[in-house]
Every structure is written in structure tokens, then in C-alpha cells.
A = this chain, B = another copy of it.
Amino acid sequence: MIGFTLLGTDGAARRGRLATAHGTIETPAFMPVGTAATVKAMRPEEVAATGAEIVLGNTYHLMLRPGAERIAALGGLHRFMNWPRAILTDSGGYQVMSLSALRQIDESGVTFRSHLDGTRMALSPERSIEIQRLLGADIAMAFDECTPFPATEDEARRSMELSMRWAARSQAAFVDRAGAGLFGIVQGSVYPDLRRESAAALAALGFDGYAVGGLAVGEGQAAMFAVLDKTVPALPADRPHYLMGVGKPADIVGAVLRGIDMFDCVLPTRSGRTAQAFTRRGTVNLRNARHGEDPRPLDEACACAACAQYSRAYLHHLARASEILGSMLLTEHNLRYYGDLMRDLRGAIETRSLADFAAGFAALQAGGDVSPLES
């Protein structure tokens, strides 16, 4: 059981606080992705300095390497990766479908071959929950099937109903302990009736939090927001709402406006390794030749090391030379951008000025890569 306190609202948006065995998380919150027991190119204390209070670990990657039982023997994932704050683990369901080979799915679960070495492995609701317990997750996710997109309504129903049966099995397998909780995952593709039915089924089971899954899979922002408009009101209001795998800054702002409390996405970290920077005025590609002689900081209003201590010309040089320091600095910058965005969103909800904040955000971002910051 984990605590969730709703501190205030602004329209559908919520300001809250999660309490776990590894500290509290102010919501709305963004969770950096630490796939293989590391947020890539970052030391854990640097991750915390960007404002992150919780990171995500990937069950699929960790069960393959180094193995859940090994991490448990070494004291759990927090100790293994030197991250003393909260950790949410996914169930492995999404990545076993997107990364593994020769996968076969049936009522019992999924069998597959590791994308690393071809080893034959299996995941089921029971094994996923066991792995997440071995890792020591503060928040575990129910094992589900991420419905492929696009899907017909019949396909989406069959997939959603399987996920609901797996959610019940996940819940039965989960051993409750203080400061740790289990979230259910709403499926149903882009079909409002299926989403509402899924939300009701999960609410009847009773979870510590409710995630919206199966989005950010190619449906586009408008369709995603339409699903949220129909789905979030059907989620229990006294529990946190988590939009999985989202997203771009504008996606996050729109989802917070619709009542989402938690996010995760590889975008800030992956982009940091490909010289893409997020800024108040849109994204900046630091490989672009026009940065080569620019002595200005990436964003003069940002307090991260990349902006405070280096020029765009230097960041451009590191990107062109494929230097590891470039990945380090831009990952830090992007996580700081996301951390600052979440802090500002929380502040706007507290002062009930979220609509104004969102309008200002959209106006500044509109320029994108040809904004004043770029000229």
C-alpha cells in the first residue's frame, strides 16, 4: 500500500503527493527511464538534482541482464544502482512484445526468446509480479498486453479483456507491503466504451493507482487526448493516474490538464544522446552547423551545467565528435527541462493558473527549431 494525498485541483488537473517506502513524490511527476539499472549517461545523484524523485526500471531488460534473482541477492534494485529514492517497474508486457523474438502469447502469458542471446524465457502475471518484488519496486505494474495499434474494436476488446484477467492474477500474486503498491493498467485502444469498461473492471478490483496504457503507439496527440477525456474521469479520483510512455512536453501539459499525475518516457534521455535538446522555446538540434561558432548558452534561463558552464559551440563540437560528455550534458539538460516543467505545472495547479500556463507554454513552444533561441 502506498499513500496518495490530493493536495488541490485546477479544473481536471490535480496536485498530489505519493508516499512510498523510498520517499515522497510530488505530482504531477515525470519519471526518468532507467532501463538497465541506470538512467543512461547520468549518475544517480545527478538524476536527483534534475528534480526527479522516482525513476522507472524495465522488468524485461533486468530479467534478461543481470537477472532479477541476482539483483535480489545483491540487495535489490535501489542498492544495486545506488538510487535511494522511489522506483516504479513496468511489468515487461510492453517490451516483451516490442523487443523479443519468437514470442507466443496465450492465456497463461508469453513465451519468447531474449533479444540478447536467444535464451527461451517466459513471462506471466505471476512471474512479472515476482520479478518486480525481487527488484524491490515501490510501485509495480500489473502484467498486461499493450494492444497493438491500430486494432479493430473486436481485437481491442479481446486484448483488453485478457489484460483484465491478467490484472486480477497480478493482484492475486502481489504481496502487499508498507510503502509499496500495485497499479492496474487501462487498455481498450481508441474505443471509449472499452476504456470505460476497463477502468471499471480495474476499479472493482481496487489498485493503488491506475495507469492508462496502449497510448503513444502511433495514434497521434489528438486521439490520445480524446482517449484521456473519456478515460480519466472513469478512474478512481483518490488514486494516482499514470500515463505510460508519454511523452513530448506538449503531450505532458495536455495530459496534466486532463487529470494525469505521472509520466515516463525515454524522450529526454534518448534525445540527450542524439544532440536533441528541449528548451522553453522548442527543440534544438545541436548538431546543426549554425551552432558551431555560437558562444551563447543553450538556454540562458536554465540552471543545468550544460547551460550554465558551456556554449552552444562547445555542445555542437561534442555532438559532432561523438563525445560521451555531450550525451552526459544534454541528458542532464533534458531531464532538468522535464523536471522544471513538472515543477512549473505543479505551481500552476497550486495557484489555479494552469490554463494560463498552458497557453503561455504553447505560444513559446510554437517556434520550435526556428524560434528566437535558434536565430
Chain A residues proximal to chain B, CB less than 8 Å: 36-38, 40-43, 65-66, 70, 73-75, 80-82, 273, 292-293, 295, 305, 309-311, 313-314, 316-318, 320-321, 323-325, 327-329
Q: How many copies does the complex hold?
A: 2
10 closest A-B pairs by beta carbon, nearest first, are A41-B324, A38-B325, A66-B317, A36-B321, A82-B309, A38-B323, A74-B313, A80-B314, A74-B295, A40-B324
Cα–Cα distance between A317 and B80 once the two chains are bound (Å): 10
Cα–Cα distance between A82 and B70 once the two chains are bound (Å): 41
Residues of B contacting A316 with CB < 8 Å?
A: 66
- Nearest-CB residue, chain B, relative to A317: B66
Residues of B contacting A273 with CB < 8 Å?
A: 324
- Contact partner, A317, options B41, B65, B325, B329, Cβ 8 Å: B65
Residues of B contacting A320 with CB < 8 Å?
A: 65-66
Q: Are A317 and B82 in contact (CB under 8 A)?
A: no
Besides A66-B316, A324-B327, 9 other A-B contacts (C-beta < 8 A):
A36-B321, A37-B317, A42-B325, A43-B328, A66-B320, A74-B295, A74-B313, A80-B313, A328-B328
Residues of B contacting A65 with CB < 8 Å?
A: 317, 320-321
- Nearest-CB residue, chain B, relative to A311: B74
Cα–Cα distance between A314 and B75 once the two chains are bound (Å): 11
Residues of B contacting A42 with CB < 8 Å?
A: 325
Q: Are A314 and B37 in contact (CB under 8 A)?
A: yes
